[in-house]
């Protein structure tokens, strides 16, 4: 038999995930000689033996790859045999190119059983990890991903750890954060007021929580504030600290059984709860936990994802675990920023966090996730772009303003940063710069082109301008519409209807857009239709005070003597009168087509929203929660009209509002009215899609924008459109909200570059 040899290139997330030792074991098992090594784009494998056939190797490569590896593609070709004997891992070459790095991954079952086994040397050790699990993105300072480039660099491996680290057959072969009680990071428990060290470690920490104390606990991407989920006094104090009275608090539960006590869990949700990414999953409440998620029907729960959490939750079945920040500021990662103004005690450790990341938050709709926040466990997964858009130009997209992210493009892939928060807050703009610097280092990224929103005064737009490199600007709702196209890897060439609904985005006519139907392709868009403009009485104040929007919509439907429904009666005449005047005389009342503001108005008219909201989606969330409780789904929606005399078409909700008011006067339950309103919007989207199909022959509809975080709306619209033969696209692994603007911006820029721009 002749000796044959092959060279394979495996692309994807294959570095720092135990891939080379896996290849070593596989090649040895199948009797190959050769080597494996990391190269820029992934891993290179050289295989040779007598009469080599690759089939079995390739099959096992796919089927048995380590859990954290994500293979994007395998190329292979026959080469000259090198006459090697034996197989080895070649550590010599570390090209400086685009190397993917894994997100942080929850403790694997093997590590979990070690920390539970008194015979193991890592028994109850809170920093146990292996190549299949543990911190990654949050501890890396620079590539190549190597221990000395991580925040583990200061810990010298003990002989036992070193042996495991060097043994290709060991689960911890080249596990960069490898540690044990002898050589790794240590926990410490401190009193927040004095900084005094307290003995007792995890057990004492749990005891303090049981006693009603609030602890700051250092996790992977930052500190959590932790207290008992059933202690009203502690929750009240925590809410004072966070200055959040109604915003839902996330919970961490010991196990699935505990989760099921408080919430309904379907198989998809269970899959996500226990996945290596371990996001917070929003679940339907089963029993009410006072003070946790008031006025809504869901509760966000996650399972422990580090050994530290597992060990702490052994003592306590359920805790509040919310990110340790004051209102609107980024999550805190550094010990020196945690003090008595945040907590009573601090459970910390001496492994630094290089890059902060919040917990990710999802809900499952029609079997697929909807991201409310994409961070730990998902960042920095690479997103491949359609081949026809790939380009050698490196592109930076700086996103919008609220719920911002950064995306970078290089060599056919986009990396989108973790959720960074609202850039109008100074600390968050620092977080933006910190993250961009991090991404630049990790991916050797040098932007040659920058893309921002169209809004002239966004912090991100000004930042983009300050870079003094070619700068493109993309309309907000157009960027929203392109993001799902890139995610689903659809190339340019097919026109679609982008249903882009959110709170606010700067329109190309200078107005505040937010209820848009765009006829679009990568090249550009035409504003096909929009929700008719209504005044935003008081500008920004109208977004915080739903009663103002209620007044605007009632005025539009009924004129100045609009009916004074019960919810409006709670607003003193001294406040209502000036607002009515503003609307009437068009003073301090910019126009908006925002769907988010329509939800605000309807929620308030139904008596389901407070006069002033604490967080952005509060009123719509309450409206959705009320509508979700309606069992009979046989109702009609309300009427609306579409004015096709003008371009773009305009959707008029005057009839919707008057029928809604009539219903409420007839004592129809607000829950039912809320449901009928949702149904109205589903019908509207269907009607506009059918019209666009008729007029433009398109069949693809993209549902995007923060309004589609609404489970009911997304679920129903998706189903109805599909039933009517439409191809429906919506964000799945990215948020429909402003977090994915940067992704859509990259899509636009890539197309422009292809066309010879900018």
Least distance from Fe ion to the Cβ atom of residue 243, Å:
25
Total chain residues near Zn ion (CB under 5 A): 10
| Nearer to Fe ion (CB atom), residue 149 or residue 475 | 475
Q: In this chain, which stretch among 97-105, 146-154, 310-318, 731-739 interacts with Fe ion, using CB under 5 A?
A: 731-739
Map residue 234 onto helix, strand or coil. helix
CA angle 302, 625, 596 (to 5 degrees): 100
User: In whole angstroms, what separates CA 128 from the centre of its chain?
Assistant: 27
Q: Which residues of 45-80 are buried (b: 16+ CB within 10 A; e: fewer)?
A: bbbbbeebebeebeebbeeebbebbebbebeeeeee
Least distance from Zn ion to the Cβ atom of residue 568, Å:
58
Q: Which two tokens stand for residue 52?
A: 């080599």
Q: Which does 712 bind (CB under 5 to 8 A by kind): Fe ion, Zn ion, none?
A: none
| Nearer to Zn ion (CB atom), residue 103 or residue 503 | 103
Estimate the share of the chain in helix, then strand, then coil, as percent rounded to the nearest 5.
Answer: 35, 25, 45
Residue 739 within binding range of Fe ion, rule CB under 5 A? no
Least distance from Zn ion to the Cβ atom of residue 319, Å:
23
Q: Which does 318 bind (CB under 5 to 8 A by kind): Fe ion, Zn ion, none?
A: none
Residue 265 within binding range of Zn ion, rule CB under 5 A? no
DSSP states of 267-317: HHHHHHHTSTT--EEEEEBSS--TTTSTTSSEEEEE---SHHHHHHHHH-S
| Nearer to Fe ion (CB atom), residue 114 or residue 738 | 738
| Nearer to Fe ion (CB atom), residue 291 or residue 505 | 505
Backbone angles phi, psi at 397, to 5 degrees: -120, 130
DSSP states of 612-646: S-SSTTHHHHHHHHHHHT-----------EEE-SS
Residue 112 within binding range of Zn ion, rule CB under 5 A? no
**β partners of residue 700:** 727
Least distance from Zn ion to the Cβ atom of residue 121, Å:
8
Instruction: Give helix 654-665 / helix 670-696 axis angle, nearest 10°.
Output: 160
**β partners of residue 34:** 47, 87
Task: Quote the CA–CA distance of 555 and 535 in Å, as a whole number.
Answer: 10
Total chain residues near Fe ion (CB under 5 A): 3
Strand order across the 33-39 sheet: 70-79, 3-13, 42-50, 33-39, 87-89
Least distance from Fe ion to the Cβ atom of residue 680, Å:
22
Q: Which does 738 bind (CB under 5 to 8 A by kind): Fe ion, Zn ion, none?
A: Fe ion
In eight-state DSSP terms, residue 205 is H
Residues 36, 111, 518, 685: which binds Zn ion (CB under 5 A)? 111
Q: Which does 593 bind (CB under 5 to 8 A by kind): Fe ion, Zn ion, none?
A: none
The residue of the chain with the least Cβ separation from Fe ion equals 502
Residue 624 within binding range of Fe ion, rule CB under 5 A? no
**β partners of residue 736:** none
Query: Checking DSSP bridges between strand 591-592 and strand 641-643, what pairing results, if any?
Result: unpaired
| Nearer to Fe ion (CB atom), residue 600 or residue 738 | 738
Q: In this chain, which stretch among 25-33, 307-315, 450-458, 732-740 interacts with Fe ion, using CB under 5 A?
A: 732-740
Residues 359, 453, 516, 738: which binds Fe ion (CB under 5 A)? 738
| Window 198-217: contact mask with Zn ion (x via CB under 5 A) | --------------------
Residue 467 within binding range of Zn ion, rule CB under 5 A? no
Q: In this chain, which stretch among 93-101, 184-192, 499-507, 675-683 interacts with Fe ion, using CB under 5 A?
A: 499-507
Task: Quote the CA–CA distance of 686 and 680 in Å, as a whole number.
Answer: 10
Task: Quote the CA–CA distance of 659 and 557 in Å, as a whole number.
Answer: 10
| Window 175-194: contact mask with Zn ion (x via CB under 5 A) | -----x-xx-----------
Residue 707 within binding range of Zn ion, rule CB under 5 A? no
Residues 33, 132, 592, 717: which binds Zn ion (CB under 5 A)? 132
Residue 108 within binding range of Zn ion, rule CB under 5 A? yes
Least distance from Fe ion to the Cβ atom of residue 726, Å:
23
Least distance from Zn ion to the Cβ atom of residue 114, Å:
8
In eight-state DSSP terms, residue 263 is B
Asked if 673 contacts 606 with a C-beta cutoff of 8 angstroms, the reply is yes
| Nearer to Zn ion (CB atom), residue 182 or residue 586 | 182
Residues 58, 158, 384, 668: which binds Zn ion (CB under 5 A)? 158
Asked if 104 contacts 136 with a C-beta cutoff of 8 angstroms, the reply is yes
Backbone angles phi, psi at 26, to 5 degrees: -65, -45
424-453: contacts with Zn ion (CB under 5 A): none
Q: In this chain, which stretch among 191-199, 378-386, 503-511, 551-559 interacts with Fe ion, using CB under 5 A?
A: 503-511
Task: Quote the CA–CA distance of 458 and 504 in Å, as a whole number.
Answer: 13
Strand order across the 187-191 sheet: 197-198, 187-191, 345-349, 215-218, 223-228, 318-323, 251-253, 298-302, 280-284, 361-365, 368-373
Least distance from Fe ion to the Cβ atom of residue 424, Å:
15
| Nearer to Fe ion (CB atom), residue 516 or residue 659 | 516
Q: In this chain, which stretch among 131-139, 440-448, 462-470, 574-582 interacts with Zn ion, using CB under 5 A?
A: 131-139
Residue 48 within binding range of Fe ion, rule CB under 5 A? no
Least distance from Fe ion to the Cβ atom of residue 433, Å:
22
| Nearer to Zn ion (CB atom), residue 158 or residue 390 | 158
Q: Which does 151 bind (CB under 5 to 8 A by kind): Zn ion, Fe ion, none?
A: none
| Window 504-543: contact mask with Fe ion (x via CB under 5 A) | -x--------------------------------------
Burial of 151 (0-12, 13-18, 19+ CB in 10 A): buried
Q: Which does 502 bind (CB under 5 to 8 A by kind): Fe ion, Zn ion, none?
A: Fe ion
Residue 130 within binding range of Zn ion, rule CB under 5 A? yes
Task: Quote the CA–CA distance of 579 and 80 in Å, as a whole number.
Answer: 81
Residues 48, 352, 453, 502: which binds Fe ion (CB under 5 A)? 502
The 10 Å Cβ neighbour count of residue 267 is 8
| Nearer to Fe ion (CB atom), residue 41 or residue 738 | 738
Burial of 122 (0-12, 13-18, 19+ CB in 10 A): buried
Residues 8, 43, 133, 423: which binds Zn ion (CB under 5 A)? 133
Upper half-sphere CA count for residue 350 (Cβ side, 13 Å): 10
Asked if 498 contacts 480 with a C-beta cutoff of 8 angstroms, the reply is yes
- Residues in contact with Fe ion by CB under 5 A are 502, 505, 738
- Residues in contact with Zn ion by CB under 5 A are 108, 111, 130, 132-133, 158, 161, 180, 182-183
């Amino acid at each position: 038999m002749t000796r044959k040899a092959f060279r394979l290139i495996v692309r994807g997330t294959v570095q720092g995930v135990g891939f080379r030792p896996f290849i070593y074991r596989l090649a040895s098992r199948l009797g190959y000689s050769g080597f494996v090594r990391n190269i820029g784009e992934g891993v290179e494998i050289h295989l040779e033996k007598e009469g080599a056939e690759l089939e079995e190797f390739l099959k096992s490569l796919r089927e048995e790859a380590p859990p954290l590896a994500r293979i994007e593609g395998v190329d292979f070709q026959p080469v000259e045999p090198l006459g090697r004997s034996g197989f080895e891992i070649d550590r010599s070459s570390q090209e400086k190119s685009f190397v993917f790095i894994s997100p942080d991954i929850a403790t694997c079952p093997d590590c979990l059983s070690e920390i539970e086994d008194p015979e193991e040397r890592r028994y109850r050790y809170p920093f146990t990890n292996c190549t299949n699990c543990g911190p990654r993105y949050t501890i890396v300072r620079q590539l190549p991903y190597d221990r000395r480039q991580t925040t583990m660099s200061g810990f010298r491996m003990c002989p036992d750890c070193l042996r495991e680290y060097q043994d290709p057959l060991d689960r911890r072969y080249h596990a960069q954060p490898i540690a044990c009680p002898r050589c790794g990071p240590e926990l410490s428990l401190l009193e927040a007021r004095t900084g005094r060290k307290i003995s007792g470690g995890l057990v004492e920490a749990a005891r303090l929580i049981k006693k009603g104390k609030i602890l700051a606990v250092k996790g992977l991407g930052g500190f959590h504030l932790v207290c008992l989920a059933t202690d009203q006094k502690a929750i009240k104090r925590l809410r004072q600290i966070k200055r959040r009275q109604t915003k839902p608090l996330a919970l961490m539960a010991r196990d699935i059984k505990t989760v099921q006590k408080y919430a309904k869990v379907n198989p998809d949700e269970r899959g996500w709860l226990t996945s290596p990414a371990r996001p917070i999953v929003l679940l339907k409440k089963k029993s009410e936990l006072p003070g946790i998620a008031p006025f809504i029907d869901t509760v966000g729960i996650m399972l422990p994802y580090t050994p530290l959490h597992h060990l702490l939750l052994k003592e306590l079945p359920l805790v509040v675990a919310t990110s340790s920040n004051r209102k609107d500021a980024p999550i805190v990662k550094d010990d020196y920023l945690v003090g008595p103004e945040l907590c009573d005690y601090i459970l910390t450790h001496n492994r630094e966090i290089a890059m902060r990341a919040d917990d990710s938050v999802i809900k499952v709709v029609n079997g697929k996730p909807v991201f409310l926040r994409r961070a730990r466990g998902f960042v920095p997964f690479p997103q491949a772009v359609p081949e026809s858009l790939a380009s050698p130009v490196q592109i930076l997209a700086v996103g919008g303003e609220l719920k911002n992210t950064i995306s970078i493009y290089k060599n056919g892939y986009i990396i989108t940063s973790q959720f960074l928060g609202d850039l109008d807050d100074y600390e968050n703009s620092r977080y933006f710069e910190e993250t961009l610097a991090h991404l630049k280092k990790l991916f050797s990224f040098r932007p040659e082109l920058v893309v921002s929103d169209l809004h002239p005064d966004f912090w991100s737009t000004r930042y983009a301008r300050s870079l003094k490199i070619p700068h493109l600007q993309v309309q907000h709702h157009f960027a929203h519409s392109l993001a799902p196209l890139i995610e689903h890897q659809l190339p340019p060439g097919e026109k679609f209807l982008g249903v882009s609904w959110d709170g606010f985005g700067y329109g190309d006519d200078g107005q505040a857009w937010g209820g848009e139907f765009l006829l679009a392709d990568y090249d550009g868009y035409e504003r096909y239709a929009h929700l008719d403009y209504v005044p935003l009485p008081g500008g920004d104040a109208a977004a915080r005070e739903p009663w103002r929007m209620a007044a605007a919509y009632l005025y539009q439907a009924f004129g100045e003597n609009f009916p004074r429904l019960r919810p409006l009666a709670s607003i003193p005449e001294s406040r209502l009168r000036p607002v009515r005047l503003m609307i009437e005389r068009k003073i301090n009342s910019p126009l908006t087509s925002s769907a988010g503001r329509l939800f605000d108005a309807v929620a308030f008219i139904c008596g389901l929203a407070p006069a002033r909201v604490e967080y952005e989606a509060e009123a719509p969330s309450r409206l959705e929660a009320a509508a979700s409780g309606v069992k009979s789904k046989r109702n009609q929606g309300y009427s609306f009209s579409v004015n096709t005399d003008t371009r773009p078409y305009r959707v008029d909700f005057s009839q919707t509002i008057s029928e809604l008011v009539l219903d409420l006067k007839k004592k129809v339950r607000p829950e039912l009215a809320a449901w009928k309103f949702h149904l109205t919007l589903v019908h509207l989207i269907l009607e506009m899609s059918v019209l666009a199909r008729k007029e433009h022959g398109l069949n693809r509809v993209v549902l995007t924008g923060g309004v589609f975080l609404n489970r009911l709306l997304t679920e129903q619209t998706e189903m109805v459109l599909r039933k009517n033969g439409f191809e429906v696209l919506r964000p799945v692994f990215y948020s429909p909200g402003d977090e994915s603007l940067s992704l859509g911006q990259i899509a636009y820029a890539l197309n422009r570059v292809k066309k010879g721009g900018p």
